[in-house]
């Protein structure tokens, strides 16, 4: 008789996964520097500047601007491109909600399109089909750490004079055809929220290769004031999106580990793919070979309840948790969320506009069936990976007993 979870039998997971968030003496050393120097904001300190220089270089971009968080990074990127009322911005149906809400917050119209059923990334064909004379920008999301088809997306955007903002919140260090996420679009955004691959609890960044866009983003992110302004010269309409020195101190230390962690996750994900693709009812996220470095922010797979005697996906996730494996259900389709369906847009321009309907069947299939494991499950050893597979086998035998 198989028993699941903590009551009774031995757990499938016998030891802890790699801790996350993760810090060493290096983070403490840099934080102490900020405290001892007494320079807590970027206007006086040097940590934000240092972080920006290092992160831009790491992502093959010329300029980086540290900001408060990834949601604000998207809002700032759209404001920098002057996206405003009357403009349409194309976003994928399968992403974290901020990709959509940032568009609503700048008074523009989000146009939600489908994603690829294997890679879960924006489908270039759906992008091209959704273009209208009002389309001003597109926001491809490098889903779970795998880059979108940036060749096709940038080519379509160029032909139609549409601006590209990469939402690279999952893609620290990720590469497409040997080039890093964040270097393809007019602008790119990153998040350093608690669970992300590089984290300071909350944080974000905007990257670009365009000096003019960088200068404009800098002004908007600092309430419209030029660098080192001491005269309250508010030259553009801005807000306060500034990153502080404590955030940057932690991030500098985190960046020193990113390359090694990405290498480790690539190796682990390949092993886990092999282990899980043998299990009936489990199909890992597919991979475009041109996405030559996948950062693996989330390890995602389709779950087919039929192979588990109809066990619901939510129960499957709970059983995994009981066995000591952290697991979650996928994001909902952005336009299936409560506020969107109730058309509760608080008076932003989208309130008065009938949303465009596009086929979102792949995104629905993913949102309804996919399960994901957090990236730190890939930072341990082979035993960790075997135990993930064993937990799934154990649940399957239990359900089909």
Enumerate the active-site residues: 96, 167, 170, 193, 196, 225, 232, 242
Residue nearer to ligand PLP on the CB measure, 4 or 291: 291
99 scored as a contact of ligand PLP (CB under 6 A):
yes
* Candidate list 183, 193, 247, 254; residue touching ligand PLP; CB under 6 A: 193
- Residue among 171 and 275 whose Cβ is closer to ligand PLP: 171
The single residue among 98, 247, 262, 396 that binds ligand PLP, judged by CB under 6 A, is: 98
Residue 170 binds ligand PLP (CB under 6 A): yes
- HSE-CB at 12 with a 13 A cutoff on CA atoms is 27
DSSP notation for 146-166? PPP-HHHHHHHHHHTT-EEEE
Residue 75 sits in the site that holds ligand PLP (CB under 6 A): no
Burial of 254 from C-beta contacts in 10 A (0-12 / 13-18 / 19+): buried
Q: Helical H runs in 160-244? A: 211-221
Residue with Cβ nearer ligand PLP (183 or 189): 189
Of the pair 12, 141, the CB lying nearest ligand PLP is at: 141
Which range touches ligand PLP (CB under 6 A), out of 35-43, 68-76, 84-92, 374-382?
A: 68-76
Q: What is the 3-state secondary structure (H, E, C) of 47-114?
A: HHHHHHHHHHHHCCCCEEEEECCHHHHHHHHHHHCCCCCCCEEEEECCCCCHHHHHHHHCCCEEEEEC
For 163, residues 6+ apart whose C-beta sits below 8 A from its C-beta are: 81, 136, 137, 138, 157, 185, 186, 187
Contact 395, 318 (CB under 8 A): no
Selected binder of ligand PLP within 71, 101, 247, 262 (CB under 6 A): 71
Q: Does 141 bind ligand PLP (CB under 6 A)?
A: yes
Please select the residue that binds ligand PLP; options are 17, 55, 96, 246, rule is CB under 6 A: 96
Applying CB under 6 A, does 244 fall inside the site for ligand PLP? no
**What span, in angstroms and rounded, lies between the C-alpha atoms of 362 and 367?**
9
Counting contacts by CB under 6 A, is residue 199 touching ligand PLP? Answer: no
Whole-angstrom Cα Rg for the chain: 22
Sheet hosting strand 88-92, strand order edge to edge: 63-67, 204-208, 187-191, 163-167, 135-138, 88-92, 109-113
Question: By CB under 6 A, is residue 167 in contact with ligand PLP?
Answer: yes
User: ∠ CA(385), CA(288), CA(206), 5° rounding?
Assistant: 90
| Closest approach of ligand PLP to the CB of residue 377, in Å | 17
Nearest distance from residue 281's CB to ligand PLP, in Å? 27
247 or 362: CB nearest ligand PLP? 247
Q: What tokens does 5 get?
A: 């979870």
Tell me: does residue 254 bind ligand PLP (CB under 6 A): no
Among residues 65, 66, 67, 69, which is the contact residue for ligand PLP, using CB under 6 A? 69
Owner of token pair 């590089």:
198
- How many positions of this chain bind ligand PLP (CB under 6 A)? 14
Residue nearest to ligand PLP (CB): 70
We find the least distance from the C-beta atom of residue 139 to ligand PLP, in angstroms, to be 9
For residue 367, give Cα distances in angstroms to 117, 361, 362, 364: 11, 10, 9, 5
Site for ligand PLP, residues 294 to 353, rule: CB under 6 A? none
Hey, which residues does 374 pair with through a beta bridge?
298
State residue 307 phi and psi, 5-degree precision: -80, -5
Q: Is 394 in the site for ligand PLP (CB under 6 A)?
A: no
Q: Which stretch binds ligand PLP (CB under 6 A): 5-13, 30-38, 165-173, 211-219?
A: 165-173
Residues that bind ligand PLP (CB under 6 A): 69-71, 95-96, 98-99, 141, 167, 169-170, 191, 193, 204
């Amino acid at each position: 008789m198989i028993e699941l979870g903590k009551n009774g039998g031995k757990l499938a997971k016998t030891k802890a996964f790699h801790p996350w968030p993760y810090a060493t003496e290096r983070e403490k050393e840099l934080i102490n520097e900020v405290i001892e120097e007494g320079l807590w904001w970027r206007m006086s300190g040097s940590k934000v500047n240092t972080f920006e220089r290092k992160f831009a270089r790491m992502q093959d971009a010329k300029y980086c601007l540290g900001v408060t968080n990834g949601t604000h990074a998207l809002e700032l990127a759209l404001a920098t491109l002057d996206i405003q009322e009357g403009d349409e911005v194309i976003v994928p149906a399968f992403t974290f909600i901020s990709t959509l809400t940032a568009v609503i917050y700048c008074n523009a119209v989000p146009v939600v399109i489908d994603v690829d059923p294997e890679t879960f990334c924006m489908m270039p064909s759906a992008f091209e089909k959704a273009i209208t004379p009002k389309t001003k920008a597109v926001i491809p999301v490098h889903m779970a750490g795998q880059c979108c088809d940036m060749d096709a997306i940038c080519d379509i955007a160029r032909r139609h004079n549409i601006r590209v903002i990469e939402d690279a919140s999952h893609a620290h260090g990720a590469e497409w055809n040997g080039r890093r996420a964040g270097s393809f679009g007019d602008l790119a955004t990153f998040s350093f929220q608690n669970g992300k691959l590089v984290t300071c609890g909350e944080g974000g960044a905007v990257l670009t290769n365009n000096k003019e866009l960088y200068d404009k983003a800098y002004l908007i992110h600092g309430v419209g004031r030029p660098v080192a302004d001491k005269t309250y010269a508010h030259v553009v309409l801005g807000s306060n999106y500034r990153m502080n020195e404590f955030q940057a101190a932690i991030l500098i230390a985190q960046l020193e580990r990113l390359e090694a962690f990405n290498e480790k996750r690539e190796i682990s994900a390949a092993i886990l793919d092999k282990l899980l693709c043998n299990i009936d009812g489990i199909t890992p996220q597919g991979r475009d070979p041109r996405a030559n470095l996948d950062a693996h922010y989330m390890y995602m797979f389709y779950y087919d309840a039929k192979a588990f005697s109809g066990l619901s996906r939510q129960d499957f996730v709970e059983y995994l948790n009981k066995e000591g494996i952290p697991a979650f259900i996928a994001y909902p389709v952005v336009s299936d969320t409560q506020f969107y369906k109730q058309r509760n847009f608080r008076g932003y321009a989208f309130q008065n506009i009938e949303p465009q309907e596009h086929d979102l069947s792949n995104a629905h299939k993913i949102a309804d069936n996919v399960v994901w494991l957090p990236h730190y499950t890939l930072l341990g050893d082979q035993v960790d990976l075997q135990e993930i597979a064993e937990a799934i086998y154990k649940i399957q035998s239990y359900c089909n007993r």
